[in-house]
C-alpha cells in the first residue's frame, strides 16, 4: 500500500505509487470512525476505542435529540390548534409529553431543564 503524509497524518493511499512523495507499507490502511485514514492496527488501540465510543455516544445523543424534536413538532401542532380554540383529545397528556421531551432535549444539549409554571 502506498500513501502520503500531511501534518503527520495519512493524506492519501492507493495500491499503486501515485506520486514521488509516496511511502510504502505492508500494513492495511482504512478509514476510521471520523473519516481519517489510519493504519488498520490502530483500530485495536485503547485510544482509538475510547474515541470510537465517545463518537458513538455523540451520534446516539444527536439521534435522540432529533427524534425528540420531531415529536415536539407534532405535539406543537396540537398545542397551536388548542390556542386557536379547537378541541384536541388528551391535550393534557400531550402537554406533559411536550414538557418531558423538551426537558430531555435540554439535558442532552447540556442546558438546565425548564420549570413548570404554577
pLDDT in tens, 54-83: 999 999 999 999 999 999 999 999 999 999
From the list 52, 43, 2, the residue with the least C-alpha distance to 10 is 2
Per-residue pLDDT, averaged over 4-12, amounts to: 97
Tell me how far CA of residue 1 lies from CA of 6, 17, 30, 31, 37, in angstroms. Answer: 17, 8, 11, 14, 13
Q: How confident is the model at residue 48 (pLDDT cuts 50, 70, 90)?
A: very high
Sheet with 37-39, edge to edge strand ranges:
23-24, 2-6, 9-14, 37-39, 29-31
Q: 24 has which bridge partners? A: 2
What is the per-residue pLDDT for 36? 96
Cβ neighbours of residue 42 closer than 8 Å, sequence gap 6 or more: 32, 48
The model carries a pTM of 0.74
pLDDT of residue 16: 97
Amino acid at each position: 500500500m502506498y500513501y502520503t503524509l500531511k501534518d503527520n497524518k495519512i493524506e492519501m493511499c492507493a495500491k499503486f505509487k501515485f506520486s514521488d512523495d509516496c511511502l510504502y507499507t505492508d500494513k492495511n490502511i482504512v478509514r476510521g470512525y471520523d473519516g481519517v485514514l489510519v493504519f488498520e492496527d490502530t483500530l485495536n488501540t485503547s485510544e482509538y476505542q475510547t474515541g470510537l465510543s465517545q463518537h458513538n455516544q455523540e451520534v446516539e445523543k444527536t439521534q435522540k435529540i432529533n427524534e425528540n424534536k420531531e415529536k415536539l413538532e407534532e405535539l406543537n401542532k396540537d398545542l397551536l390548534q388548542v390556542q386557536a380554540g379547537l378541541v384536541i383529545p388528551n391535550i393534557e397528556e400531550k402537554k406533559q409529553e411536550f414538557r418531558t421531551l423538551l426537558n430531555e432535549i435540554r439535558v442532552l444539549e447540556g442546558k438546565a431543564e425548564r420549570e413548570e409554571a404554577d
